[in-house]
């Protein structure tokens, strides 16, 4: 697994809720017309393809009930985040694509973030697929299948402990320690500290968490606040199965993405 990388800015978040309604002729509660089970919510695994590359990227998508989706390359090749809406079995999204934070000698991004329109379709608890066109001229497709680990009951107690991302020499390039109640803190190889951090369960039916944390780095006078999405899934690699924490965070100017393994 490659070390975590700093990513470029994300879109602002948007929350879209569906409220129940009440009959006009009596006081009987009428169920929501759109059940959460009919929406493309959960953890999805698949591949993202780009016209500019012959290789597709193994990726994970996190789609939450209130209108946000994040798609990230499993080796941090890119991160796409934005807002989605549905109509029938169609799914549309406005996304911003980010690549690792490579900068030139003047500090300007070598490859700035690009926006994209995604148009696709989905089947609840089965898959979603579609194509996107970016404003930098690139385009591509996403093909994902539902991960049944979405249905693992989220539990803050299972997060307790140390989660890290080892570099090629085996040292932890970033390490987070979670305590009871969802609080956590961390330190990365650059000396940046992650504090005032908390993970919260979104809904008991989905293995998804919202996270918030502050990062303080050497030379930065103020802490940077991040919010994002997280999950913990089992992954098999080289004949071994381990728990992997996928954690993303962003604000109006920067974003981070981590894949962490449970310390043993």
Q: Residues 198-254: pLDDT tens digits?
A: 999 999 999 999 999 999 988 888 898 988 899 999 988 777 888 999 998 877 667
Q: Are residues 140 and 26 in the same domain?
A: yes
Q: Are residues 91 and 25 in the same domain?
A: yes
Of 148, 181, 215, the domain-final residue: 148
Q: Residues 143-176: pLDDT tens digits?
A: 999 999 999 999 999 999 999 987 666 677 899 9
The domain of 100 spans 5-148
Q: Are residues 68 and 118 in the same domain?
A: yes
Q: Are residues 22 and 43 in the same domain?
A: yes
Of 116, 148, 180, the domain-final residue: 148
Q: Are residues 185 and 98 in the same domain?
A: no
Task: Say yes or no to pLDDT of 102 above 80.
Answer: no
Question: How many structural domains comprise the chain?
Answer: 2
Q: Are residues 42 and 97 in the same domain?
A: yes
Residue 173 to residue 1: CA distance in whole angstroms: 11
Of 129, 148, 167, the domain-final residue: 148
For residue 12, the model assigns a pLDDT of 37
Q: Are residues 185 and 204 in the same domain?
A: yes
Q: Are residues 78 and 181 in the same domain?
A: no
pTM: 0.81
Angle 132-212-110 (CA atoms, 0-180°, nearest 5)? 45
| Nearest C-alpha neighbor of 87 from the set 38, 130, 44 | 38
């Amino acid at each position: 697994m490659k070390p975590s990388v700093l990513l470029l800015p994300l879109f602002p978040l948007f929350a879209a809720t569906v409220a129940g309604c009440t009959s006009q002729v009596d006081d009987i509660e009428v169920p929501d017309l759109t059940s959460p089970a009919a929406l493309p919510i959960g953890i999805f695994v698949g591949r993202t393809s780009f016209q500019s590359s012959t290789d597709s990227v193994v990726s994970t998508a996190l789609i939450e009930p209130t209108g946000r989706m994040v798609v990230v390359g499993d080796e941090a090749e890119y991160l796409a985040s934005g807002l989605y809406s549905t109509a029938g079995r169609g799914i549309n999204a406005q996304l911003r694509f980010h690549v690792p934070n490579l900068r030139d000698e003047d500090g300007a991004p070598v490859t700035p973030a690009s926006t994209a329109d995604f148009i696709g379709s989905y089947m609840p608890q089965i898959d979603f697929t579609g194509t996107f066109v970016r404003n930098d001229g690139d385009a591509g497709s996403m093909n994902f299948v539902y991960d049944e680990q979405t249905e693992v009951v989220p539990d803050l107690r299972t997060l307790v402990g140390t989660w890290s991302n080892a570099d090629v020499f085996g040292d932890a390039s970033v390490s987070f320690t979670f305590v009871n109640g969802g609080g956590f803190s961390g330190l990365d190889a650059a000396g940046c500290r992650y504090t005032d951090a908390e993970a919260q369960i979104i809904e008991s039916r989905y293995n998804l968490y919202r996270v918030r944390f502050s990062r303080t780095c050497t030379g930065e006078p103020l802490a940077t606040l991040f919010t994002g999405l997280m999950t913990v899934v089992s992954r098999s690699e080289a004949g071994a199965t381990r728990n992997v924490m996928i954690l993303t965070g962003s604000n109006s100017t920067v974003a981070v993405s981590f894949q962490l393994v449970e310390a043993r």
